[in-house]
Amino acid sequence: MKNKPKFRIMKFNGDDAYSYAIFHADSVRGMKSPICYSPSPIICGMDYREAQIRKKEMEKNHTA
């Protein structure tokens, strides 16, 4: 049985309202926001509410 991937929402390359990004949880373990340059996000340039919606969609699509 495969483990489903986990995702995490964090600030990326800035501190404005549209600087949230979604990362693989393993790649940002132990890091503090905002993250600059590395690791690369899966999706970036969202406000927090949109990031939450996208994260839920991604987790739902990876359950099989």
User: Is 90 exceeded by the pLDDT of residue 3?
Assistant: no
Tell me 46's DSSP state: E
Domain boundaries, the chain: 7-61
What pLDDT, in 10s, does the model give residues 46-63?
999 999 999 999 999 875
Average pLDDT on 27-46 reads: 89
Average pLDDT on 24-53 reads: 91
Total-model pTM = 0.84
pLDDT grade for 2, boundaries at 50, 70 and 90: low
Average pLDDT on 23-36 reads: 88
Tell me 40's DSSP state: P
CA distances from 30 to 10, 33, 35, 42, 55 (A): 12, 10, 11, 18, 20
